[in-house]
Structure 1
Amino acid sequence: MQAAERAAAPNTLLAYQADLASCAQSLLAVGQTLSTASADGLRSWLADLSAQAQSRRTVARRLSCIKQFYLFLLREGLRADNPAEHLDSPRAEQALPRFLSESEVLALLDACVEPEGASPAKKRRALVARAALELLYASGLRISELLVLPRQALVGDQRMLSVRGKGGRERLVPLSDSARQAASALVQADAGLNSPYLFPGRNPARAMTRQAFDRILHDVGLKAGLEPARLSPHVLRHSFATHLLAHGADLRALQMLLGHADIATTQIYTHVQTERLRQVVAEHHPLSASQSTSLDD
């Protein structure tokens, strides 16, 4: 159902499979199965997750999967009741998204250059890094959306890029001139590969893997003088959203650009702005602790 009706991504299907397997294993210890589980059996599973020191966010996500599973069984007539109906989901921690400063993003892009005498392989790797980072930051793409972009998607003088996101939902995102130029340079360099993808893997018939891109991002981060632990494709997506909001973007427009189904997901970035305002006041207000210390000095 998730694959056929909701067009769930392969990673989502794998996560649901893992969640169901976790629940089934816990239920087995109390003599129950997924099809015969009671509310108490499911509470025992949740207690097991807490005992394993899993975060509240992880527990909430896993419980969401189980609730969907029993709703499915109920609607299909495979169970007469829903044992997960009254289970309370733990409130997830409201962690602020990590993002880079505008100067740090520029440093990353500037690091995507190899010296004149570099090998062809290193020069191509730099082209891949530049095109990927430009698209991630300029258009707010998810890494899963970026890596499956067809080679023809950026051929020509398009100003908008069609992206298929979560749940098969399509959206249009704008392309900056620098992103189009970087992608065009990569397409020209890869002309002989005959790959259907803008970012081909070692086998040109397949797209680049997430792991391969992570290695490229790690190397570029080191060249830019940034701590690799602070970098990920999603950090660039968060940076895109945070910087747009800081420069006056509308929250509804930001939701459309990011491909969020619910604007509540987008509103996390308003908390980022609130935290930044608090820091500004703390650092610059004449009665703040830091200013009082400098006045005393």
Structure 2
Amino acid sequence: MPPRFKPVQNSVASALPTALPSTHVEGFVAYLQGECGLARNTVISYERDIKRFSDWFHESAVARVTDITLQDLSGYLRYLHELKLATSTIARHLVSLKMFFRYLMLEGILKESVADLLNSPKLWEHLPKVLSEDAVNRLLDAPMHQDLNPYRDRALLAVLYATGCRASEVCSLKMRDLQLDEGFCRCVGKGNKERLVSLNPVAVAALKTYLARERPARAGTSLDSPVFTSRSGRSIDRIQVWKLVKRYASRIGLSDAVTPHTLRHSFATHMLANGAEIRALQELLGHASIRTTQIYTHVEHSRLKAIHKQCHPRG
């Protein structure tokens, strides 16, 4: 039966080889956007994952998607491991695959999904890296007057750490989202879900300074205009945020592995260390599942073990 969802034009799926029928893949992408309400970046990631699966499928001995067995999909997972992908990346591929097979069931193409029988790889093999509170403070102070956008960069770093927001969420902030007098802002996360996040005094002060000294010269007063802009007045993107975090981390001697997400991890870990409840942290981070948030309990436990080993006389 034909897909119930209108195919998305000019997508990655349109360039797929004939390993899987193009209507299957295009319909799946439209399904993600139209019915699942996933964020654009998530849809792009899932679409890329299915392209990789399609490439593998093309080289396999399986003739049709309806012939795929659990053994075949286990072979696909082994193939992903052979590519030396990160555990978290393989886990996302598995989620993409399960959603794709469920879509095929909705379309009546498959009677059951063998993908649901696959087990997710262990996600706790590599715990996220976090910065100490002292390292975070040094990073927030790293922008200097000789930099092109010192006030913007200070405000951006302060907001990333104060809220635990993703880089994409901070980039999408509009002027109307800021409530500086009340100390919070509204952000839009994955799946276009809105949440309110608190701004600590450091972030509020940095934002007020930036809005007073740098932003007026480059952006209008419209409430729909972006908070963080380039010198041309356009909204900055995730790549720019990634680059500036890398630059300032390098300036103060931190590892080149520090990224905007490191500040998100640090925010969550520091919140737990200071008594935040796991359910409250889930809401602050915008996690759909508590299982995602629970990774930070593992991080905090690892930190405490390191302190014990360092400080105990028989550690």
**TM-score range with shorter-chain normalisation?**
0.7 to 0.9
SS for the counterpart of 1:172 is: strand
SS in 1 for 2:195: strand
1:70 aligns with 2:101: yes
| Counterpart residue number, 1:194 | 219
TM-score (norm 2): 0.81
For the structure 1 residues 64 and 184, does the alpha-carbon distance in structure 2 shift closer, same or farther, using more than 3 Å as the test?
same
One-letter code aligned to 1:14? I
Write out aligned runs for 1:260-279 (5 A).
Answer: 260-279=287-306
Distance 2:304 2:72 in 1: 46
Give the corresponding residue for 1:60.
Answer: 91
Q: Residues 17 and 281 from structure 1, CA distance in 2 versus in 1: closer, same or farther, beyond 3 angstroms? A: same
Pairwise CA RMSD: 2.2
Q: Does 1:128 align with 2:152?
A: yes
Deviation of 1:156 after TM superposition, in Å, equals 5.2
The alpha carbon displacement at 1:36 in A equals: 3.7
Contact 2:179–2:185, Cα closer than 8 Å, also in 1 = no
Residue in structure 2 matched with residue 241 of structure 1 by the alignment: 268
The residue number in structure 2 matching 1:95 is 126
Superposed CA deviations along residues 180-211 of structure 1, whole A, max 9, x for unmatched, are 2211222232213235111123552x421222
| SS at 2:196 equivalent | strand
Could you say if the C-alpha distance between residues 82 and 183 of structure 1 is closer, same or farther in structure 2, counting changes exceeding 3 Å?
A: same
Give the aligned partner of residue 20 of structure 2.
none
SS in 2 for 1:107: helix
- Show structure 1 runs of 5+ residues with no match: 289-297
Render the CA deviation track for 1:117-141: whole Å, top value 9, x for unaligned: x4xxx3x511121001110111111
Following the alignment from structure 1 to structure 2, what is the Cα–Cα distance between the partners of residues 6 and 19?
Answer: 17
Q: Which has the larger radius of gyration?
A: 1
Q: Is the 8 A contact 2:229 2:235 kept in 1?
A: yes
- Per the alignment, residue 292 of structure 1 pairs with none
- 2:218–2:231 CA contact under 8 A, matched in 1: no
The share of aligned pairs that are identical, in percent, is: 35
8 Å CA contact 2:158, 2:203 repeated in 1: yes
Aligned counterparts of 2:82 and 2:125: Cα–Cα separation in 1: 21
| Partner Cα separation in structure 2 for residue 149 and residue 52 of structure 1 | 37
CA 105–86 in structure 1, closer or farther in 2 if over 3 Å, else same = closer
1:89-127: CA deviation from partner (whole Å, max 9, x where unpaired):
33334322211111111111222232xxx4xxx3x5111
Does 1:138 find its partner at 2:162? Answer: yes
Amino acid at match of 1:7: G
TM-score normalised over the length of structure 1 = 0.85
CA–CA separation in structure 2 for the residues paired with 1:81 and 1:278: 45
Moved more, 192-201 or 30-39: 30-39
Q: Per the alignment, do residues 157 and 10 of structure 1 end up closer, same or farther by CA in structure 2, a change over 3 Å counting?
A: same
Moved more, 33-42 or 212-221: 33-42
Q: Partner residue of 2:182?
A: 158
Cα contact 2:131–2:262 (8 A) shared by 1:
yes
Kindly tell me: are residues 233 and 245 of structure 1, through their superposed partners in 2, closer, same or farther at Cα, counting changes over 3 Å? same
User: Aligned pair in 2 of structure 1 residues 106, 254: CA closer, same or farther (>3 Å)?
Assistant: same
Q: Distance in 1 between matches of 2:86 and 2:307?
A: 31
Residue 220 of structure 1 corresponds to 248
How far apart are the structure 1 equivalents of 2:180 and 2:265? 28
| Partner residue in 2 for 1:9 | 39
User: Tell me, what secondary structure is at the counterpart of 1:2?
Assistant: helix
The change in CA–CA distance for 1:170 and 1:280 in structure 2 (over 3 A counts) is: same
1:231 is displaced (CA, Å) by: 1.6
Aligned partner of 2:178: which letter?
L
Number of equivalences:
279
- Aligned-pair distance for 1:70? 1.0
Q: Which residue of 2 aligns with 1:106?
A: 137
Tell me the distance in 1 between the aligned counterparts of 2:54 and 2:252.
Answer: 47
The letter of the residue matching 1:193 is R
Taking the aligned partners of 1:267 and 1:148, their CA distance within structure 2 comes to: 27
Q: 1:71 to 1:33 in 2, by over 3 A?
A: farther
**Per-residue Cα deviation, 1:124-179 (whole angstroms, up to 9, x for no partner):** 51112100111011111111100110133226523221111111211111111221
Q: Distance in 1 between matches of 2:282 and 2:198?
A: 14
Distance 1:7 1:249 in 2: 30
